[in-house]
Amino acid sequence: MEIFLDIFAGLGLFFVGVKLIGANLKQLTGKWFRGLMAAATESGLRASLLGLLSGALTQSSNAITFISISMVTAGLVEVAGVIPMVIWANVGTSLLVLVAAVDINLVVLFLLGATGVAYYFDLDNKPRFRHGLGAVLGLSLLFMGLELIKHGSVPLRSVAGVADFLTFAASSYFLAFLIGAVLTMVAQSSATVTIIAVAMTNAGLLTLDQTIAIVIGASLGSGLSIGVLTANLKGIGRQIAWMQIGVKIVGVAIFLPLFVLEVSTGLPGIKALVTSCTPHIATQVALVYLFLQIASAVITMLLRKPVTALIARHSPPTDEELLSQPHYLYDEALTDVPSALELVEREQARAFGYLPNLLDGVRADATMVMSAQALHVAGQSLIDQCDAFLAEIVDQNEAKDMLPEAFNLQKRNEILSGLFTALDDYVQTVSRIGPRDEDDKFVRLIFALGESLHTILDLGKDAFQTRDRDDLAILLDFTADRSAQMDSIRRRAMSVNDMSPGDHSALYTTTTLFERILWLTRRYGELAVEMVFAPETV
């Protein structure tokens, strides 16, 4: 029992360590990494190097895949630009596997002690050290966990049943391959499974042949787990996921036949290669993992152009992704502040233009082309990108003369975000009313509110895109205070006896949201007028 608990506790420490390393390194590298990614993806070599680095830091090719998906979906980088990074991140994950194969027990004990002392002196409360210290603690726990697994695995060989199972497993490489695949799908990391396998091989619990089969199986499992995790993705997101799955499949397709040929015919293959490199069995396993990643990366890199074109044809960008991509924001524009501000204003106007269509699902006279949810996500993505762009403008020295205009656009960004939220609430409230007879007085009132709201937002869309003085003036006229009018509608509704309490509540909410949307639109319009009517501004 104690043996199993040693291994169980070791696994626990190992997993805590992996989590701590990933979480803290992501915090350390977040903003810096995103900036680096945008710059690196302009060149294949730089993107590949960044992939190596990020894979080594995060120890998760899945994490890099998902970061790439989010950045491409947000329109910050191109699919072709991130592909080398996604491919080489797999090779980066080999670093920990190689380190784990080396006996660094004394270093780990020192690290753990030093980290504990640093925590005792509250260094973790200082922002400068917090995440670095967390990452070192994670690394120490990870290796302590591996030591416990090794410690528990040595006597395991003599436990009745385990020896029988190992003999049985040794007779079937397919079983070892399957175990590698299944464990990786559970652990979500082929590097994790390989490191545990390295520890068990070190303890003499697994043979080199078995471990190689596990490592190849782990690669397949990693591809399958990405497939499961990204099954609901469409468009560009799916393109990147498919590329990552392709990398894993290529590795298995090369190494599995080579390995089968070697063990069945005795011809030199991967096993012969790693045993010629080092006599140390744990390092041999780590090298198998490294060579597998390198071979997959090199082959996929050579094939990446036709493969990228193929997957782009089979998974074209979704409407939501296209709407999320900025049309006007680009980094080069940041050098000229007035132009950069003008571009933000245009991008915001484009996002505002999504608002009328948010109502399509609940209007009396409209056909829904795209879901309100998709429009909201796309609009919010544009707002976030405008926000980041504005932050970069404001940080520049050259922007000091145009700070009022920059703050004006920042305020508009906040209002725009509020408008998307308020319209989302409005659509949800009206959707909950459910199908009714079109002659129902309450429904007719809700329809009138919807058509009016659509008119006003449509007027806003035109006014902000054309920046026409008359259109802006009409918009301000249409969005004047309506509290008295809405109060009157509510009072009239209260006097109608056949309205249910649910309808009263829905009417109260819709009229309140109507007022809020109008107020926000007016405020946005007033800020637009400030800029359009001020002659010295953009």
The three-state secondary structure class of 172 is coil
> DSSP readout, 366-413?
---SS-HHHHHHHHHHHHHHHHHHHHHHHTSGGGGGGHHHHHHHHHHH
Is 493 in contact with 440 (CB distance < 8 Å)? no
CA atoms of 221 and 463, how far apart (whole Å): 54
Q: Which listed range, 50-58, 76-84, 150-158, 477-485, lies at the site for another protein (CB under 8 A)?
A: 477-485
Q: Which is nearer to another protein, 20 or 445 (CB)?
A: 445
Query: Minimum distance between the CB of residue 447 and another protein, rounded to whole angstroms?
Result: 8
| Closer by beta carbon to another protein, 390 or else 457 | 457
5 secondary structure, DSSP code: H
| φ and ψ at residue 243, rounded to 5 degrees | -65, -45
Q: What share of the chain is helix, strand, coil (3-state, %, to 5)?
A: 85, 0, 15
Q: Which is nearer to another protein, 231 or 484 (CB)?
A: 484
Q: Which of 77, 285, 482, 525 binds another protein (CB under 8 A)?
A: 482
Total site size for another protein, rule CB under 8 A: 28
Q: Is 527 in the site for another protein (CB under 8 A)?
A: no
List the one residue from 106, 231, 480, 484 that touches another protein (CB under 8 A).
Answer: 480
Q: How many CB atoms lie within 10 A of CB 235?
A: 19
Question: Running DSSP on this structure, what letter comes out for residue 143?
Answer: H
Q: Is 483 in the site for another protein (CB under 8 A)?
A: no
CB of 354 to another protein, least distance (A): 16
Q: In the complex with another protein, which residue's Cβ is closer, 83 or 445?
A: 445
Task: Give the angle subtended at the CA of 476 by the CAs of 470 and 478, to the nearest 5°.
Answer: 100
CB closer to another protein, 223 vs 356: 356
CB of 455 to another protein, least distance (A): 4
Q: Is 478 in the site for another protein (CB under 8 A)?
A: yes
Tokens, residue 372? 């309100």
For residue 482, the minimal CB distance to another protein (Å) is: 7
Tell me whether residue 444 or residue 504 sits nearer to another protein (CB atom). 444
CB of 351 to another protein, least distance (A): 20
Minimum distance of another protein from residue 495's CB (angstroms): 15
Shortest distance, position 24 Cβ to another protein, whole Å: 52
**H-only helix segments in 206-354:** 208-229, 235-265, 270-277, 281-314, 319-324, 337-352
Is the Cβ of residue 22 or residue 450 nearer to another protein in the bound state? 450
Taking the C-alpha atoms of residue 28 and residue 22, their distance in angstroms, rounded to an integer, is 10
* Residue of 41, 90, 479, 510 that binds another protein (CB under 8 A): 479
**CB of 521 closer than 8 Å to CB of 459:** no
Binding mask 437-476 for another protein (x = CB under 8 A): -------xx-xxx-xx-xxx-xx----------xx--x--
Q: Which of 485, 502, 505, 534 binds another protein (CB under 8 A)?
A: 485
The Cβ-side half-sphere exposure at 229, using a 13 Å CA radius, reads 23
Neighbours of 338 (CB within 10 A): 14
Cβ nearer to another protein, comparing 167 with 495:
495
What part of residues 488-507 is at the interface with another protein (CB under 8 A)? 489
Q: Residue 360: CA atoms inside 13 Å, Cβ hemisphere, count? A: 16
- DSSP sequence for 195-229: HHHHHHHHTTSS-HHHHHHHHHHHHHHHHHHHHHH
Between residue 349 and residue 388, which ones bind another protein under the rule CB under 8 A?
356, 363-366
Binding mask 101-140 for another protein (x = CB under 8 A): ----------------------------------------
Instruction: Report the largest interatomic distance among the alpha carbons of the chain, rounded to a whole angstrom.
Output: 92
Shorter beta-carbon distance to another protein: residue 150 or 461: 461
CA–CA distance, 431 with 426 (Å, rounded to integer): 8
- Of the candidates 339, 414, 420, which has an alpha carbon nearest to the alpha carbon of residue 375? 420
Min separation Cβ 519 and another protein, Å: 13
Give the range of 16-24, 121-129, 407-415, 481-489 binding another protein by CB under 8 A. 481-489
Q: Which residues contribute to the site for another protein (CB under 8 A)? A: 356, 363-366, 444-445, 447-449, 451-452, 454-456, 458-459, 470-471, 474, 477-480, 482, 485, 489, 514
